Structure 1
Amino acid sequence: MENTALYYRQFGEPESVLKAETAAKAPLNPGQLRVQMLLAPVNASDLIPITGAYRHRITLPAIAGYEGVGRVIAAPDDATHLIGKRVLPLRGEGTWQQIVDCPAALAIPVPDAIPSPLAARAFINPLAAQLMLKLYPPRGKRVLLTAAGSDCAILLGQWAHRLGARKVFGIHRSPVHAARLQAMGIVPIAQHDSATVQAVAADSDIVYDATGGELAQMILSAMPGTGEFICYGLLSGQPFTLQPHYPPMRWFHIRNYLDALSPQAWQAEFQAIWPKMAESQYSNTTRLPFAAWQAAVADYRQAGRSHKPLLTMSNG
C-alpha cells in the first residue's frame, strides 16, 4: 500500500522544509489501527514544531500534523468493530499523510452525528480549552481572552460562560472578529485600543493568553495582584518578563497532561467534548486538496482569517 506523507527532515519554515514523499506503508504493528485520512486541519501547533521551536522533543525525520479524522481500514482482532468507522487517529504518527497508524486504545471513535469537518478539529483546541477550564475554573470571574478570534479562544469564551463566568472579554487584532465574538457573548476589544485593554485587565480575575509579548506584558502590569494569568501560547513569537508585583502566572501546555491520562480517562475527555462542540459556535472551514498544502499554509497565515483551512486527503 503506497502512502504520501509530508515529511520534514530538517527544521525551518514549513513552506521550505516540508516535502511530499511517497513510499510503501510499513506493515501494521500489533495493537495499532490503520486509518485512511479524510481531513486534517492546519493549526499553529502543527506549524511551530516544524520551525524547530521544540527540537528537543522531536526526532527527525518527522511527519507533520497532530490531528484530523479518517476511516479505519485495518485493526487488531480486539478492535475489528472499528473497521469502516470514523476515528481521530491521535498520538501516533503525524496526520498530514494519507494513511495513519495509531494505537487502537487511543483512537477516538467519532459519533455519527458529528460531521467530519468538525471532528477533524476536536483534539488540539477543544481539549486544551476543556483542560484549562478544569484546572483554572472561571465560575464567578471576569474573564479576559487574547487572540480572541482563534479557535481555542472562542471555545474558552463560550465554555467559560456555561461554567458561570460573570463576563467574558476578548482581545482581537482584526475588526472582522468583533461581530462574531459579540454573537458568542464575548465582549470584543480591539488590540490597538491600549486604554481599554488596560482598563479591562485591571478588573479581570483570570486571563487566558495565547499571544505573549507586549500584549501579555501590558495585561500583567495592569491586572490586580489577586488575578490569575494563564499563558497557553506565544503567537506573537515574543517572550515577556515577570515582575514581583504581577499576579500569579501559570504555563499551560497540553502535552504536559496527556501522559497522566489513562486510555479510559483519555476517551472520557472526548465523550465530554463531543456534545459541547455540537452545541458551540465554531469557525467555518475551507477545504484544499492535500497536494495543495502550500496554499493551505498560506491560507492559515492570512491576517484576519475567520475560517480554518482543512487538507482533504487525495484518497479520502
Structure 2
Amino acid sequence: MNNTALRYRAFGDPSTTLCAETTPLLPCAPGMLRVKMLLAPVNASDLIPISGAYSHRITLPAIAGYEGVGVVCETTPETAHLQGKRVLPLRGQGTWQQYVDCPAELAVPVPDDIDDALAARAYINPLAAQMMLTHYPPQGQHVIVTAAGSECAGYLAQWARQRGAKSVSGIYRSAVHASRLAASGVIPLPETDSAAIRQAAAKAGVVYDATGGELAEQLLQALLTHAQFISYGLLSGQPFGIQRRLPVVHWFHIRNHLDSLSASAWQQTFSDIWARLRKNPPADVTLFPFADWQQAIAFYHQPGRITKPLLSMR
C-alpha cells in the first residue's frame, strides 16, 4: 500500500516548496496507531514553518500539517478498541498526507456528536486560546485581540467574554469582519483607526496579539504599565521592538507547554475543548480535494476570507 504526502525538502514559499510524494507505507512501529486521514485544515501554523521561520527546530525533509481528523486503520493489541474510530492523530507525523502514524497514547478520540469539519480544527487554535486564557486570565479586564477575523482570535474573544472580561475589542484588517464581530459582542476596531486603537489600549489590561509589527508597537506604547501583552504570532511578517520595561510582554507557543502535560492531562484537555466547541463552533469551511492543495493555500491567503480551507483526503 502506498501513501501520498506533501513533503518539503527545503524552506521557501509553501505553494512551490511543497511536493506531493508517493512512497510505500512502512510497517507501523510499536506503540503507534495508523490513521487514514479524512480532513486537515490549512493554518498559518502549518505554512509559516515551511517558509523557514523555525528552521532551527525542523529537520528536513518534513511533512506539512499539524492537525486533522482520520479513522484508525491499524492498531496494537492494547489499542484495538480504537480500530475504525475517528481520532485526532496529533504530535506525530505531519497531517498533510493520506496516512498518519501517531503515538497511541496521544491520539484523541472524537466524540460521536462532533462532525469531521469541526474535529479537524480542534487542536491548534482552540488549544492555543484555552492555554492563553488559563495562563493570562481575562477576568475583570478590558481585553484586546488582534487579527480579530482569525479563528484563534475568535476563540479568544468569545471565551474571554465567557470568563468574565469587562469588554473585548477586536482589531481587524478586512471590513468584512466588522459586523460579525459586533454581532458576537466584540467591539470592532479597524486596523487603520489609530486613535480608536490607542483609546482602547489605554484602558486594556490584557492584549492577545497575533500580528506583531507596527500594530504591536502602537499597542505597547499606549498600554498602561500594569497590562499584559501576549504575543502568539507575527501574521504581519514583521517583528516588533520593545521600547520600555513595562507593560510585560509574554511570548506564547503551544510547544512550550506540551511536555508538561501527562497523557491523561492531554486527553482531559480535549474533553474541555469539545465542550467549548459545542457552544462556540468556528466559521464555515471550504473543502479542497487533496490533489488541489495549491488552490487551498492560495484560498487561505485571500484577503477578507471568511471560511477555513480544509484538505479532503476522502
What TM-score comes out, normalization by structure 1 length?
A: 0.98
For residue 211 of structure 2, what is the aligned residue in structure 1?
211
* Displacement of 1:30: 0.3
For residue 252 of structure 1, what is the aligned residue in structure 2?
252
For residue 288 of structure 1, what is the aligned residue in structure 2?
288
* C-alpha distance in structure 2 between counterparts of 1:246 and 1:256, whole Å: 23
Alignment-mate amino acid for residue 38 of structure 2? L
Q: For the Cα contact (< 8 Å) 1:40–1:312, is it kept in 2?
A: yes
For residue 183 of structure 2, what is the aligned residue in structure 1?
183
* C-alpha distance in structure 2 between counterparts of 1:241 and 1:14, whole Å: 28
**Where does 1:83-94 land on structure 2 (aligned, <5 Å)?**
83-94=83-94
**Where does 1:22-101 land on structure 2 (aligned, <5 Å)?**
22-101=22-101
Alignment-mate amino acid for residue 92 of structure 1? G
* Displacement of 1:245: 5.1
* C-alpha distance in structure 1 between counterparts of 2:16 and 2:176, whole Å: 30
**Where does 1:10-21 land on structure 2 (aligned, <5 Å)?**
10-21=10-21
* C-alpha distance in structure 1 between counterparts of 2:234 and 2:289, whole Å: 29
Q: For the Cα contact (< 8 Å) 1:176–1:304, is it kept in 2?
A: yes
The CA deviation string for residues 251-279 of structure 1, in whole angstroms up to 9 with x for no partner, is 00111011111111111110000010111
Q: What secondary structure is seen at the aligned counterpart in 2 of 1:158?
A: helix
For residue 192 of structure 1, what is the aligned residue in structure 2?
192
Please identify runs of 4+ aligned residues in structure 1 that moved more than 3 A.
Answer: none
Which 10-residue stretch deviates more, 182-191 or 201-210?
A: 182-191
For residue 302 of structure 2, what is the aligned residue in structure 1?
302
* C-alpha distance in structure 2 between counterparts of 1:56 and 1:76, whole Å: 34
Q: For the Cα contact (< 8 Å) 1:8–1:19, is it kept in 2?
A: yes
Q: What secondary structure is seen at the aligned counterpart in 2 of 1:287?
A: strand
* Displacement of 1:283: 1.2
The CA deviation string for residues 13-48 of structure 1, in whole angstroms up to 9 with x for no partner, is 101110000111110000100000000000000000
* C-alpha distance in structure 2 between counterparts of 1:246 and 1:193, whole Å: 24
Q: Percent identity?
A: 60
The CA deviation string for residues 270-305 of structure 1, in whole angstroms up to 9 with x for no partner, is 000001011104111000000000000000000111
For residue 227 of structure 1, what is the aligned residue in structure 2?
227
Q: What secondary structure is seen at the aligned counterpart in 1 of 2:308?
A: strand
* C-alpha distance in structure 2 between counterparts of 1:182 and 1:72, whole Å: 41
Are 1:118 and 2:84 matched, yes or no? no
Alignment-mate amino acid for residue 178 of structure 1? A
* C-alpha distance in structure 1 between counterparts of 2:94 and 2:219, whole Å: 36
Which 10-residue stretch deviates more, 281-290 or 108-117?
A: 281-290
Q: For the Cα contact (< 8 Å) 2:6–2:19, is it kept in 1?
A: yes
* C-alpha distance in structure 2 between counterparts of 1:145 and 1:281, whole Å: 18
* C-alpha distance in structure 1 between counterparts of 2:157 and 2:132, whole Å: 12
For residue 273 of structure 1, what is the aligned residue in structure 2?
273
* C-alpha distance in structure 1 between counterparts of 2:244 and 2:177, whole Å: 34
* Displacement of 1:244: 2.1
Q: For the Cα contact (< 8 Å) 2:89–2:106, is it kept in 1?
A: yes
* C-alpha distance in structure 1 between counterparts of 2:69 and 2:183, whole Å: 29
Alignment-mate amino acid for residue 219 of structure 1? L
Q: For the Cα contact (< 8 Å) 1:182–1:188, is it kept in 2?
A: yes
* Displacement of 1:250: 0.4
Gaps of 5+ in 2: none
* C-alpha distance in structure 1 between counterparts of 2:185 and 2:106, whole Å: 34
The CA deviation string for residues 37-83 of structure 1, in whole angstroms up to 9 with x for no partner, is 00000000000000111011111000000000000001111111101
* C-alpha distance in structure 2 between counterparts of 1:278 and 1:104, whole Å: 25
**Where does 1:104-183 land on structure 2 (aligned, <5 Å)?**
104-183=104-183
* C-alpha distance in structure 2 between counterparts of 1:64 and 1:296, whole Å: 14
Alignment-mate amino acid for residue 75 of structure 1? T
What TM-score comes out, normalization by structure 2 length?
A: 0.99
For residue 5 of structure 1, what is the aligned residue in structure 2?
5
Alignment-mate amino acid for residue 17 of structure 2? V
* C-alpha distance in structure 2 between counterparts of 1:56 and 1:239, whole Å: 18
* C-alpha distance in structure 1 between counterparts of 2:100 and 2:21, whole Å: 14
